[in-house]
Amino acid sequence: MGLIRSYFSFVCGTISGIYIAQSYNVPNIEKVGQTVYTMAKQMEERYRKTTTKSREDFQDD
């Protein structure tokens, strides 16, 4: 009985997800994730602080 009880919410969620995906226009999560990643990368490059000292200035040769 414990096995059925522990997987009941998983099965209900799976069935609900299938119904929602077929009935409604759900966005592609992978595409949304790639868009967010690209935007974050562009913002990071745009607002990155420039370093005044190069890496060679910190080395003691």
Instruction: Say how far apart CA 9 and CA 31 lie, in whole Å.
Output: 28
In the prediction, which pLDDT does 5 show?
Answer: 79
In the prediction, which pLDDT does 1 show?
Answer: 62
The pTM is what? 0.46
According to DSSP, residue 7 is labeled H
Average pLDDT, 10 consecutive residues per value, the chain (61 residues): 81 94 89 94 86 60 49
3-class SS at 14? Answer: helix
In the prediction, which pLDDT does 50 show?
Answer: 73
In the prediction, which pLDDT does 59 show?
Answer: 63
Beta strands in 1-61 (DSSP E): none
